Structure 1
Amino acid sequence: MNKNRIKTELLVHDLKNPIAVIEASADMLIRNAERENPLTERQIKALTRVIRNSRIAMSLVNDILEVGRSNEGILNKGTYRCFEYIVFPFVEIFDLIDPEIAERISRAGGYKAFIEILASQGVRLEMDASLWEKEIFLDVRKVRQIIRNLLSNAFKYRKKEVVVEISLDDNNLFISIADDGKGIEKEFHKKVFERYFQLGDEREHCVRGHGLGLAGALVLVEDMGGRMTLESEMNRGAKFSVSLPLGR
């Protein structure tokens, strides 16, 4: 392990601890209030925001760690069923949007229940039901993070719907995630994959932020020997497609 990797992991460790404490403390205040001192609606909303933003911060920290590992070519492949790659990213995303929906997704227990919950939230999953239990040999953490980062981007810009397509052939796992938002100007098609580059909420001008989402996803995809493409036209949304070669 080189010095830069050690520094990154130490920094991530130092950041994770206070973030976890903040989230746990806010959660404890809400739970204790139910039994002891009731909180006002405004106080509960404020604490809920603390919890959600703590989770966002933790996701960003995990992005930094995983991208750092990818830069060193570290892969941890294993055999997992298809749903084990797919479900967790949705739980993470909805945990930031609506924790009750996240809980329902985590307990869905099967393909039909899973797609029905997603459909109720404006997400259309196009995947053959036979893939749900299919075993796939890949780095599950990296695949989950790729899906989460692309979902996060799609939810940020969608108007009404997000479409997720999952398919498989003998050599590759295919993932595509599309939103029905305003779309991305052609001049930004390469820039959106740059670290810390973000588009404005209306996708009319670029703004700098702390986003590693698309850049991080691209690093992970390429580290696994895969490919990511973008299809987008103004007023027709954006579709990010990923192909990942299956491990042997």
Structure 2
Amino acid sequence: MQYQKAVAVVYCDAGGCQHLCWSDNVDESLAQELCIVPGEGALGRLLADRGLLLEYEISELEEAWRDCDVKSILAVPIVSNGETVGSIAVYYLSDSWRFLEEEQALLRGISEQASLYLEREAIERESRHHAQQVSTLFEVSKVLASVVELADLLPAIEDTLVETLRPAEAGALLLYDTTTGMLAVESSFGYDLSAMDKITLRVGESMSGKVLESGHPEVWPNRDACTSAMESMSPHNRQLYREASGGLDSPRSAIGVPLVYRDKKIGVLTLETLRGEPLLAASHLPFLQALAELIVINIGQIRLLQKTEQARAVEEADRLRSELIAALAHEMRTPLTSIQGYASALLLEDVEWDGMAKRQQLEIIEAEARDLQIMVQDLLESSIIDAGLLVLAREPTLIPRMVEGLVEEMTRRTTKHRFVISFSSDFPIVEADPRRLEQVLRNLLDNAVKYSPDGGLVVVRGQRADDEVIISVADNGAGIAPEHLNRLFEKFFRVKSQTGHTVRGTGLGLPVSRTIVESHGGRIWAESELGRGTTIYFSLPCQGKDDQDEQD
């Protein structure tokens, strides 16, 4: 169909893209005018109605064409999967031209070939898209297998998810709490977490609440739909959402998928387009439902792991408690036997004890009674802490002076150890509970002596570091193995001595000390090296008298 004055224009809108091409003997501006969009304009509507457009005097169709050089037209639609997606039009300029039936058949054949190409391209595009989604789900499953905390679920798969689903700029995993009857955010990405994590929704409230209530996936394809769905959101949650989304009242689009475990609704996965393009649509649902199933499986695994760990923790606590009771029974019997024995000896009427012997026996009685007192005190303090009854009576405290008194007391109890006190000259007066702080320091000094039975140097240091003070107690004992170091502050845990025997004590001193230090706003930690000794550090906020004077 090669004629000197014939013009060909092809238009197509398929696969999310528009295409327009034309023959060499026409410029782009005229091609734009001659483009026929099915269903639009006079020519477009005629083409859509008739399925074939054949006119010899185009000016008779529409007044706008009367001054145009185009006289005749032959146009056929391009149909893909039953939908008209474009057109092929041949115009004859200047003079009317009668198109032959062979020419009509040829144009129809070209249109059919274009349709076949578009359908094949759509199938290939869908196959590529499906393969990418399957690959993404496979990658997601591998990533989720290593996640052990619910809060890490969505951040762990964020990059992979957004790469496959570009409209998903933000997402939230909300789980239903049967005790409160509320949906709470367990994991999210794309939001300000400090605000997002505070949102709790009633069943039926906002988009996620509606999905949980219905048990079916929901799509909100535009901002109006999102705004309407969020009308039920409480003012408090609405303000939190604004903060979380950077000032938005609603997203541009959203999808919510229920999370169902063993026929029971446990939560909702919601994804949102906040500001960008393209938008979320119903076509994304199959992928998100498959993703939701993977997440549900992982939630079940995490919860099972948590239950297993809790059961192990309870079992371990029971075992340690049983060991403690047995150890206490033995350890209390030892000092009680000593106290009873020496007291009975002093009461013998037929024995005359000189002053030195009496003093030695009384000192032994005092030392054994002190050990008993420490054991009972640790048990009482642990019970007070467990009951949440620990109360601090803060006052200005001179820690160096307190340490001097405690070291003097320890010196009377051991002749094998030497004590060194080293506090920096700028060490401030600290606001603390002196009785509780003395309890911590006495415990650390007592441990330093007990775990270095051969004697050696015990060093107490104190220094100021920015907005806190750091105190440490170091010994020259056998040290602690790395596998035991991280358990040092667990209740009932006790490190064995060099001989393999457990050192006398309740295993509560360091846990109690940790709680006291942390209640002051500080922290406590240990460093140790086998054969070289152990150092226990703790810090306290440095709101001392010097700081207060500066503020005044």
Q: Give 1 or 2: higher helix fraction.
A: 1
Shorter-chain TM band:
0.5 to 0.7
SS at match of 2:456: coil
Contact 1:185 1:234 in 2 (8 A): yes
- Corresponding residue for 1:175? 471
C-alpha contact 1:181 1:238 (8 A) present in aligned 2 = yes
1:78-97 equivalences under 5 Å are 78-97=395-414
1:75 paired to 2:392: yes
Q: Are the structure 2 counterparts of residues 92 and 155 from structure 1 closer, same or farther at C-alpha, using a change threshold of 3 Å?
A: same
1:141 is displaced (CA, Å) by 1.1
- d(CA) in 1 for partners of 2:368, 2:476: 26
The verdict on how the C-alpha distance between 1:135 and 1:209 changes in structure 2, with shifts beyond 3 A counting, is: closer
Change over 3 Å in CA distance of 1:194–1:67 after alignment to 2: same
Take 1:64 and 1:125, find their aligned partners in 2: how far apart are those partners? 30
Deviation at 1:238, TM superposition (A): 0.9
Identify the match of residue 438 of structure 2 among 144, 155, 162: 144
Matched, 1:157 2:474: no
Deviation by residue 1:217-247 (Cα, 9 ceiling, x = unmatched): 1121122221111111211211111011245
CA drift at 1:61 = 2.8
Code of the residue aligned with 1:201 in structure 2: it is S
* Aligned-partner SS, 1:163: strand
* TM-score normalised by structure 1 residue count: 0.65
Give distance in 2, aligned partners of 1:40 and 1:139.
Answer: 40
| 2:370 counterpart of 1:55 | yes
Structure exhibiting the larger radius of gyration computed from Cα positions: 2
Tell me, which stretches of 5 or more residues in structure 2 are unaligned?
Answer: 1-335, 545-552
Q: Secondary structure at the match of 1:197?
A: coil
1:155 alignment partner AA: V
Compared CA separation, residues 56 and 207, structure 1 to 2 (3 A): closer
Q: Do the aligned partners of residues 44 and 140 (structure 1) sit closer, same or farther apart at CA in structure 2, a change above 3 Å counting?
A: closer
Paired residue for 1:46, among 361, 383, 408?
361
- What is the rounded CA distance, in whole Å, between the counterparts of 1:190 and 1:176 in structure 2? 18
User: Unaligned regions of 5+ residues in structure 1, if any?
Assistant: 1-18, 31-36, 99-119
Following TM superposition, by how much is the alpha carbon of 1:130 offset from its aligned partner in structure 2, in angstroms? 5.2
C-alpha deviations, 1:51-103, integer Å up to 9, x for none?
Answer: 111122223333334444444241110112333432333244334337xxxxx
SS at match of 2:391: coil
Which of the numbers 474, 487, 497 marks the counterpart of 1:191? 487
TM-score (norm 2): 0.32
**Residues matched between the structures, number:** 196
Instruction: Give the letter aligned to residue 437 of structure 2.
Output: V
Q: Secondary structure at the match of 1:199?
A: coil
Task: Please show how residues 1-248 of structure 1 align to structure 2 within 5 Å.
Answer: 38-39=353-354, 44-70=359-385, 71-97=388-414, 122-129=418-425, 131=427, 134-158=428-452, 159-169=455-465, 171-202=467-498, 204=500, 209-247=505-543
Residue type matched to 1:227 in 2?
Answer: R
Q: Which letter does structure 2 place at the counterpart of 1:139?
A: D
Counterparts of 2:521 and 2:479 in 1: how far apart (Å)? 27
In 1: Cα distance, 2:355 partner to 2:437 partner: 41
Distance 1:176 1:145 in 2: 14
TM-superposed deviation, 1:171 = 2.5
1:58 alignment partner AA: Q
| Counterpart position of 2:45 | none
Letter of the aligned partner of 2:510 in structure 1? L
Question: What secondary structure, in the 3-state scheme, does the structure 2 residue paired with 1:155 have?
Answer: helix
CA contact (8 A) 1:151 1:177 kept: yes
Give the whole-Å Cα distance in 1 for the aligned partners of 2:378 and 2:435.
11
Query: What percent of counterpart residues are identical?
Result: 30
Secondary structure at 2:494 match in 1: strand
Q: Distance in 1 between matches of 2:399 and 2:504?
A: 35
Q: Residue by residue, what CA displacement relative to the aligned partner does 1:121-156 show, whole Å, maximum 9, x if unpaired?
A: 51222212454xx43211111111111111111111
CA distance in 2, matches of 1:40, 1:81: 38
User: Would the aligned equivalents of 1:196 and 1:208 in 2 still touch at CA under 8 Å?
Assistant: no
Root mean square deviation of aligned Cα: 3.3
